[in-house]
Structure 1
Amino acid sequence: MRLLHTSDWHVGRTFHGRDLLAEQEEVLSGLAEVVIDQEIDVVLVAGDLYDRAVPSAEAVDTCHRILRTIARAGARIVITSGNHDSAPRLGAFADFAAAGGLHLRTRVSTLQEPVIVTDDHGPVAIYGIPYLEPDPVRHLFGLDERGHTAVLTEAMNRIRADLAARPDARSVVLAHAFVTGGQPSESERPISVGGVEQVPASVFDGVDYVALGHLHGPQRISERVRYSGSPLAYSFSEIDHRKSVWLVDLDANGLAAVERRELPVPRRLATVTGLLDDLLTVSAHAPLEERFLYVVLTDPVRPLDAMRKLRERFPHTVRMEWQPVGGRATAELSYAEAMRGRDDHEVACGFLTDCRGSEPTESERALLKEALEAVSRAEVAR
């Protein structure tokens, strides 16, 4: 049997305010070609199908088209909910969806009930552990111990108990968790509420393959425990990620092989640092014009209307910072310390200097003084 391990689609997510639905549909619908070319039997999505608990209508429509395209390619699909998903919403109509080959595993109470898929070697039991919020699930399980490790250990105990009654079955577990040894990026939402967020890989002992979700970089915790990562980059910390999926082969004895398959990149990320005028005129920067761009400006004085000017040449600039060369070191002072011994005019001039990176001119100082005096006269006249 051949499985395709994916996770963290985050359909509906934006990138620094830019809509990504078109890019998400392009990459994820392309999985249908992988299903056909690689003769995939089951596609796994290990949590965070959507980016929000209440996704937009456009995100739902996009996700529906993607799943329909994959299903028409001939694969069954098993999805479990992540910490971004609303498990009840995602799992609605799960029984009806299963009849069409879409298996939604979102209920804690039935996580030990597998999806059974059969090949020439017999059954494969696929278990989906939805994201487990530690405190409410702890009470549901009747546990005294708090934290992610406790609830995932109990979940796996229930799965292993079911497996014991299926001695001929090979086993796969989908889980959405932060497993020790994994490398996070900036785009994951922390899951530390309710105890220490990391869990040891040993929690998942006893199964043939563990398809993990939550961390956005593809990575191997062990031969049988892996993260597929997200299909697109969702932060500039992922600029060096090679987005991919895992092709997982099971033979008669369990895990036979795992192969990495890289995904296409609709629009690459880039960062660039320099003076605004240089960025706008130097021909060497031409390749950046089609990339999502993070710009760090080093002009000694903050340029006016810099983002608009940047987007005239680099239309996909999504983030900009101003870090002047040899930037002035600013001491960490309390408000009282910063204001001590300074009149309103000095405070206003200092604010302008901090914002712009250069001291106000004499005419600007005079204008600030005139404005403050006008305010003072108005207050006295009340």
Structure 2
Amino acid sequence: MIASSLGDVRFLHTSDWHVGRTFHGADLLAEQAAVLDHLADLVAAEAVDVVLVSGDVYDRAVPSAEAVQVANRALARLREAGAQLVLTSGNHDSAPRLGAFGDFAAAGGLHLRTTIARIADPVLLRDEHGPVAVYGIPYLEPEPARHALGVPEAKGHNGVLTEAMRRIREDLRGRERGTRSVVLAHAFVTGGQGTDSERTIAVGGVEQVSGDVFAGVDYVALGHLHGPQTLAEHLRYSGSPLAYSFSEAQQRKSVWLVDFDANGLAEVRRHELPVPRRLATLRGGIEWLLTAEEHADLADCYLSVTLTDSVRPIDAMRRLRERFPYAVHLEWQPENGKATATLRYAEAVRGRSDAEITRNFLDDCRGAPPSEREERLLRKALEVAGRGES
């Protein structure tokens, strides 16, 4: 049993840290460390009793040593700020690795719920009103989970989560009258809005779970979807602390501060997180992008650029990075629409000589035919290869 601070219990709901993730090849560890440091400051400022992390602590099953250092430092700072921590594993995490030494970690205030065996084994809190039971459901891969849960007839995520919640409700019924409850879960709940940065968890085409599965508890701290969302007053996604795709550029990343009173859920407040580096998109001709004063404030942003030049600019990314050092994504969509025309290879080359094929290749790639000098070089190369025109 863990005693909370005097008065009601306050939770901080966060998820999907994805420590170690890169953004179009750019290392995000510094930005991730900065946002997670802010969470520790928030815990201290708001007198948070328990931090809930609903899966995807890491971005990959075997995180780098540097990613582990960032996560460990964040957890230590949150603990030093005065909060207990409850973590579950997500579909990106390795549950056995994340849960290693869990029994020892619990002695220091870090409670790991990464196994099916501990789904109905809550972290117990107590405030002046009585007990609060915090249950952690790790991400459940349907096929192995249905057998491990003893429900081989269960279908998809909805089926295995239904059994997990049945076990939790059964445990709650056997506890002290008036026990309040929190559940952490990592799933795609019907009504949620996804982004481009979540890895699909579809199995047989079915990945969504009905919100009704989670009936009977006071608050459900969801993870997996990266945008902050309220599906019901007690059923929420915190979203990821950073944007991990340009589809999230307009999102205001945040966490939930969740207060319990004698009757359970009393209030939920949204706290917006700082943005270490903004995301932005630009579209236009390369010369305009490189010279227009109106783009000067985007030099420190992660940038996605769509070039509209009729001819593909040479060495475009290098040139863009001279002005926008954090340009990370580049597309070419000429205004004449030529880049969008596609043919099957067999259709594209049928009846054409090698010289015509190479000329058309250059035209398709750049949006302009080869110059006279390039034509001479092409003829010479084909002759050397024994494929010259007769």
TM-score by length of structure 2 reads: 0.95
Task: Tell me which of 5, 8, 15 is aligned to 2:13.
Answer: 5
Secondary structure at the aligned position of 2:386 is classed as helix
1:343-380, Cα deviation, whole Å (9 max, x unpaired) = 111111110101111011233223212211210179xx
Q: 1: CA distance between counterparts of 2:204 and 2:111?
A: 29
Asked if the contact 2:123–2:133 (Cα under 8 Å) also holds between the matched residues in 1, the reply is yes
Which residue does 1:48 correspond to in 2?
56
Structure 2: distance between partners of 1:109 and 1:277? 61
Are 2:173 and 1:154 aligned? no
TM-score by length of 1: 0.97
Superposition RMSD in Å: 1.3
Residue aligning to 1:325: 335
- Residue in 1 that maps onto 2:183: 173
Q: Using the aligned pairs only, state the percent identity.
A: 66
Matches within 5 A, 1:353-372: 353-372=363-382
The one-character-per-residue Cα deviations of 1:321-348 (angstroms, maximum 9, x if unpaired) are: 1111122265543322211111111111
Quote how far apart the aligned CAs of 1:62 are.
0.8
Q: Distance in 2 between matches of 1:377 and 1:160?
A: 75
Correspondence list, 1:48-127, <5 A: 48-127=56-135
CA contact (8 A) 1:133 1:194 kept: no
Cα offset, 1:139, TM superposition: 1.2
Query: Do 1:134 and 1:194's aligned partners in 2 also have CA atoms closer than 8 Å?
Result: no
Counterpart Cα distance in 1 of 2:54 and 2:318: 40
Deviation (angstroms), 1:195: 5.4
Q: What is the aligned residue count?
A: 378
Deviations 1:261-294 (A, max 9, x none): 0000001000011111111111111000011111
Secondary structure of the residue aligned to 2:196 is: coil
For residues 292 and 206 of structure 1, do their structure 2 counterparts lie closer, same or farther at Cα, with a shift above 3 Å needed? same
Over 3 Å counting, the alpha-carbon distance change for 1:157 and 1:69 in structure 2 is same
Task: Give yes or no for contact 1:6–1:245 (8 Å, CA) kept in 2.
Answer: yes
* TM-fit CA distance, 1:58: 0.4
Cα distance, 1:330–1:208 mapped onto 2, change above 3 Å: closer
Shift of 1:193: 2.6
Tell me the SS of whatever aligns to 1:156: helix
Amino acid at match of 1:245: V
* Distance (Å, rounded) in 2 between the aligned partners of 1:32 and 1:377: 67
Name the aligned partner's letter for residue 354 of structure 1. Answer: D
Q: Which runs of 5+ in 1 are unaligned?
A: none
Q: Which residue type is aligned with residue 99 of structure 2?
A: G
1:35 aligns with 2:37: no
Summarize the alignment of residues 1-382 of structure 1 with structure 2, pairs less than 5 Å apart. 1-143=9-151, 144-166=153-175, 167-193=177-203, 196-328=206-338, 331-376=341-386
- Are residues 73 and 342 of structure 1, via their aligned partners in 2, closer, same or farther at CA, if it must alter by over 3 Å? same
CA distance in 1, matches of 2:318, 2:334: 19
Is contact 1:134–1:195 with CA below 8 Å preserved after alignment?
no
User: Is the 8 Å Cα contact of residues 135 and 194 (structure 1) preserved in structure 2?
Assistant: no
